[in-house]
Structure 1
């Protein structure tokens, strides 16, 4: 079973080791991913703000927003 990120952090702190060690990650595994652009990097400032806001929303709130967005989008072009 894989622990959640907060649990993984607590384990690393309690054991006094890096989470990389717990996950068996080498520097070669991590470096390429750090060089890759973040998915949000190509978004406009407004969309990045919206994404940050949505991270704090409950699944129900996101579902309601999706309904509103679909109404605003209108019917698909035929």
Structure 2
């Protein structure tokens, strides 16, 4: 693995470390018994992708709608 940047850091009063010019906002931290710490960048959501659970629920909602299994009409005329 090639090193692109290397610098020393220290903990502040609240035991935090600041990453300089961080590319990502979220990181996964792995701490090992020998003192090594590995930071891996994380994206919390995948853009333009819908989860399998959400697709399943959407399919179920469409099936319910087509079969007439729906709630009463909501009156929004007051708004």
Name the TM-score, length of structure 2 as normaliser. 0.23
Greater strand proportion: 2
Largest Rg, 1 or 2: 2
Greater helix proportion: 1
